[in-house]
Structure 1
């Protein structure tokens, strides 16, 4: 049954909210957006629509469990929550939407999930990765910034601003992310073992003023990635390239996708060619 423009999909007993823009997965390659640790489908703002318009491909956006309008989840999250999303949830989700071919575009935690998925699952349907502000290991600077965000959440209107997007999931979303990253055991979190197994093309985008990660995150994937790799460092940009430098981010993402697919060609035709 073709996907509606918006709705919910049940994965592992959880109802995940989604939006679908443009051609459906059975008609054309699909760009799947994976949000950050405090994100959700709505917090991509108009980037999905701009991406669909620029590439001519379908764009699928969803909120992970515990975020946005999806089902809630228990907190604290296990420290392996990104591995679970990448190895257990995402493959089932791609099957559920009849994903045939496409690209994963991940931001922050979402970029880490995309990297784990590509390195562990190696799904042949996934032809490339766009990684915005990715994390592959913990850094003192990032942990310090996350600790500051905890204080901001407790002392300012940040909770109210996030509640506009997460509703009743606001505490689940924030504390599920924040407590995991600030757990002392999370210092051992490291994804570098997955990088040599990523054999598909990758582009990584990093803001030069990113408070949550340094250029070392990009350096490690450049050194270890098993496939074609390119990077783009953005000035006047912190942790959210698609909001802080939207034109450059859209142009780089669209160009990368165009290098993998001819926009507007049906999946069946492309597979035959």
Structure 2
């Protein structure tokens, strides 16, 4: 990226009487008069797996960025093998972990724009519902608001690939402990009780602007996910992308960037920027 400063550091946080370190990447942190975009990764994501897409977006939108790996992912503190994610693991990330990180960074008074992908999109929705006045806006790509059969089928296929291919070795490029990341996510989604997971009851509490994005060919969910968001959050805008699977930032980055830049510009025509 031509005009960007990018730094990394480990940030200690405390959640439920446990101490963790989270891997954080800061994009153009000196632009304190510009919007802050916080990137929330998918269920198998990390800082490294985003590659340079967050920096591309920040450059095009002239924003600051905070990219971080959640507990158990990337170079953050790994999950012990015996620890299983609870059914409400995304609720915990929204209610406790993200606020703890912002407090540790002295950013608790910011009004960020959240961009969440997949699990990260669900976390962004929950955060905006639990703390309605905190985010300036949220954009969610391929979020989950309930569990679909197509999602479970794809996650079962991912399990077979992890057990029978070189997927663990490939994951080692993006996660300090690939088993920590993969099995934490895979085990909870394939827990029979998880099929009843549903966050639709939280959505009416969302007050901030919402952009809900999904690829037409998403193998992890149908358009019922983002259409469900708009049904409940009437002011939500939809962006449906052709020739796109589960990861718009990989499959159609130019289309996604155009939509996000327009969304951010529209926000700043009607809302004040961060002081």
Same fold (TM over 0.5): yes
Query: Which of 51, 54, 57 is the equivalent residue of 1:51?
Result: 57
Alignment of 1:7-22 (within 5 A): 7-12=9-14, 13-22=19-28
Question: Match of 1:145?
Answer: 154
Question: Match of 1:190?
Answer: 198
Question: Match of 2:7?
Answer: 5
Query: Which of 134, 152, 164 is the equivalent residue of 2:143?
Result: 134
CA distance in 2, matches of 1:161, 1:225: 39
1:220 and 2:222 equivalent? no
DSSP-derived class of the 1:7 partner? strand
Larger proportion of helix: 1
Report how far residue 159 of structure 1 moved: 1.1
The CA RMSD measured in Å over matched residues stands at 1.7
CA distance in 1, matches of 2:60, 2:6: 21
Report how far residue 50 of structure 1 moved: 0.7
Q: TM-score, normalised by structure 2?
A: 0.91
Report how far residue 225 of structure 1 moved: 1.1
Report how far residue 4 of structure 1 moved: 8.1
The runs of at least 4 consecutive aligned structure 1 residues that moved more than 6 Å come to: none
CA distance in 2, matches of 1:254, 1:27: 17
Report how far residue 73 of structure 1 moved: 1.8
Report how far residue 26 of structure 1 moved: 4.5
1:105 and 2:112 equivalent? no
Report how far residue 78 of structure 1 moved: 1.1
Structure 2: unaligned runs, 5 residues or longer: none
Which moves more between the two structures, 150-159 or 72-81?
72-81
Query: Which of 23, 32, 41 is the equivalent residue of 1:35?
Result: 41
Q: TM-score, normalised by structure 1?
A: 0.91
The count of corresponding residues between Structure 1 and Structure 2 is: 261
Structure 1: unaligned runs, 5 residues or longer: 269-273
